[in-house]
Amino acid sequence: MQIDNLILGAGIAGLAYANEKRNKNEKTVIFEAESFPGGLCHSFKIQGLTFDSAVHLSFTTNNDARIFFDKTVYNRHEPLAFNFYNGYWVKHPLINNMYPLDASDKTAYIKSFIERKKFEYIQDYKDWLEASYGEEIAKRFYYVYTKKYWTVEPKDLSTTWIGSRLNVPDIEKILFGAFSPNTGNDYYAKEMRYPSGNGGYESFLKPLITGAAIEYNKKAVKIDLKGKVVQFSDRTIYGYDKLVSSIPLPELIEIIENAPSEIQYKAEKLKASKISLVSIGFNKPNIPKHLWFYIYDEDIMSARVNSPSIKSNDNAPMGSSSLQFEIYHHPDDIVDKEKVIENTLYALKKMKICNEDDIQFVDYRILPRGNVIFLQDMEKDRDKIKEYLANQRIDLIGRFGEWDYLWSDQSYLSGKNKVIK
């Protein structure tokens, strides 16, 4: 079968690309390796409770993205996040909300911030952290969280991904937050949005999924660029006029026949974390107290936790509630499922979130790709690969297709704008 536009991956980027092509009356088919659409925006149900594939809240300010996301009825949330550290619950960002901490610790952190080193040249994320927050705060909090979330040391990361994601410290806010609990909200977004109903974050994608031609359980295993055909794991073969990919760059290069050895080598150097999701249902309402929070204790494996039942009341039946823990792994790590679950239950106890008999179920699943890891000089390898694929007339879209730190709205625009351009 010959297809005008053959898209690999039915995540939000692939769906957005297909939608734009469908509006142009071009034959477009999406081939998805899984049995469901959505990619990282996929939502799932367990015993009547709805969960997402990690935290997922929309806060886009882009007009084109808002027009799309606003097609779905949503709940509004103030982006009030918290941090758990050594028994303390501290409002996010921690540096501006140190009031609950011990006076000696606050003194050391503020002194370190004031005396922070001035760098002539920022070589890596470690330098950036120390230059921004001071060595004490960087070591005690950001080094720990970096290892949890990015799965590598701060010195191994570049700084190109940061953008507006991290708070810019201000001495007046730091001092005020050290003496008073009555601080404002310094999160980089002013509002969080989440679909109403019990369809989870994936509900935002329904306008794109409806009417889309999607072939499920179709994992691409071989691409012949000269013959312009793709073979799938079920041995079916499809020809194409235009090939579009949102699958991870290393996987794409691996299945391209006769890809140059230099490109194969660069693709092997690209790394992305994988995520263990531990989703927990409670047989009581209001067990979670925070929409989402971060964990800085090294003995707890999880980096971030969110509450689906707070995101939408409809995500949990009356009389129940839910939490989801995110544990990030380096791609080379061997993941011990039982150890992850055991540590999560330990975390619940240590943070005094619930009693053991409050737990209705514990669900474990792993996402093979979570975040692109911005290792030093990664962009040089990535851009060479993208240049090669552009010369082969392959459009790359989405977080893993473009191999970038894209939020869901940016991934949507990645697919949509690739057609417009």
The yes-or-no verdict on residue 305 having pLDDT over 80 is yes
**Contact predicate 135/142, CB 8 Å:** no
Q: What is the pLDDT of residue 354?
A: 97
Q: What is the pLDDT of residue 1?
A: 83
Q: What is the pLDDT of residue 165?
A: 85
Shared-domain flag, residues 302 and 383: no
Q: What is the pLDDT of residue 271?
A: 98
Shared-domain flag, residues 191 and 287: yes
Mean pLDDT within 36-61: 96
**Cα gap 26→241, rounded to integer Å:** 11
**Cα gap 170→93, rounded to integer Å:** 12
Question: Would you list the DSSP string of 385-405?
Answer: HHHHHHHTTEEE-HHHHTTS-
Residue 300: CA count within 13 A, CB half-sphere: 24
Higher-scoring residue by pLDDT: 72, 164: 72
Helices (H), 150-232: 171-179, 206-209
Confidence label for 119 from pLDDT (cuts 50, 70 and 90): very high
Q: What is the pLDDT of residue 280?
A: 98
Residue 98 belongs to what domain range? 93-179
Q: What is the pLDDT of residue 243?
A: 98
Question: Would you list the DSSP string of 115-150?
Answer: TPPPPSS--SHHHHHHHHH-HHHIIIIIHHHHHHHT
Mean pLDDT within 379-401: 98
Q: 74 - beta bridge partners?
A: 195
The yes-or-no verdict on residue 421 having pLDDT over 80 is no
The residue whose two tokens read 């882009």 is: 62
Shared-domain flag, residues 192 and 291: yes
Q: For residue 23, give the 3-state DSSP assignment.
A: helix
Shared-domain flag, residues 319 and 351: yes
Mean pLDDT within 365-375: 97
Mean pLDDT within 130-143: 96
Mean pLDDT within 23-52: 95
Identify whether 140 is part of a domain. Answer: yes
Shared-domain flag, residues 12 and 104: no
Compute CA distances 136 → 76, 83, 131, 165, 258, whole Å: 36, 17, 11, 21, 50
pTM, to two decimals: 0.96
What is the number of residues in the chain? 421
Confidence label for 260 from pLDDT (cuts 50, 70 and 90): very high
The yes-or-no verdict on residue 276 having pLDDT over 80 is yes
Q: What is the pLDDT of residue 189?
A: 83
Shared-domain flag, residues 364 and 316: yes
Identify whether 154 is part of a domain. Answer: yes
Shared-domain flag, residues 246 and 168: no
Q: What is the pLDDT of residue 187?
A: 84
Tens digit of pLDDT for each residue in 229-242?
A: 999 999 999 999 99
Shared-domain flag, residues 394 and 285: no
Rounded percentage of the chain residues whose pLDDT exceeds 70: 100
Shared-domain flag, residues 30 and 51: no
**Contact predicate 397/414, CB 8 Å:** yes
**Cα gap 14→211, rounded to integer Å:** 14
Shared-domain flag, residues 7 and 32: yes
Q: How many domains does the chain have?
A: 3
